[in-house]
């Protein structure tokens, strides 16, 4: 029996987007305010999980069209790769560097390699959470 959950789906369309934006906020604000890659990753995964609940796994897979294990792998590559930046600059492994630049719209902004590391964490968390939820959800 298939119930008509049009309300859920429409709310999801809006809410998932807001959650995703919130997770982006958590991610970028992490260095100065509470947040960071881990929580942001979990929140993003939460947004996708909400879509999973409202639709079904096949639909969400069609939307994302990406292997969650690949996301995990790419995240790990980011995390490890950032460590090598320090090595290439003749400094210890995982030594971060940052500079301040003036961007046309945003003004004075700091660019920090720690963000890339955090991005790695973010991707790993998203990938891991989705892998777990999908593999358990698909099993019968």
| Identified binder of other proteins from the candidate list 56, 64, 89, 98, rule CB under 8 A | 98
Determine the Cα–Cα distance for residues 139 and 133; give it in Å rounded to an integer.
10
Cα end-to-end span (Å), the chain: 18
Closest approach, Cβ 4 to other proteins, in A, equals 25
Determine the Cα–Cα distance for residues 105 and 115; give it in Å rounded to an integer.
20
Under the binding rule (CB under 8 A), the answer on residue 15 touching other proteins is: no
Under the binding rule (CB under 8 A), the answer on residue 139 touching other proteins is: yes
Binding mask 29-68 for other proteins (x = CB under 8 A): -xxxxxxxxxx--xx--x---------------------x
């Amino acid at each position: 029996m298939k119930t008509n959950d049009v309300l859920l789906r429409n709310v999801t369309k809006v809410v998932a987007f807001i959650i995703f934006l919130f997770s982006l906020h958590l991610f970028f604000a992490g260095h100065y305010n509470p947040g960071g890659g881990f929580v942001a990753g979990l929140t993003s995964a939460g947004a996708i999980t909400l879509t999973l609940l409202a639709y079904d796994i096949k639909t969400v897979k069609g939307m994302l069209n990406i292997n969650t294990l690949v996301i995990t792998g790419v995240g790990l590559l980011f995390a490890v790769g950032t460590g090598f930046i320090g090595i290439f600059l003749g400094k210890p492994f995982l030594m971060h560097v940052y500079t301040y630049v003036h961007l046309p719209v945003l003004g004075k902004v700091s660019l920090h390699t720690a963000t890339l590391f955090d991005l790695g964490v973010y991707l790993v968390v998203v990938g891991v959470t989705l892998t777990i939820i999908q593999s358990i959800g698909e099993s019968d």
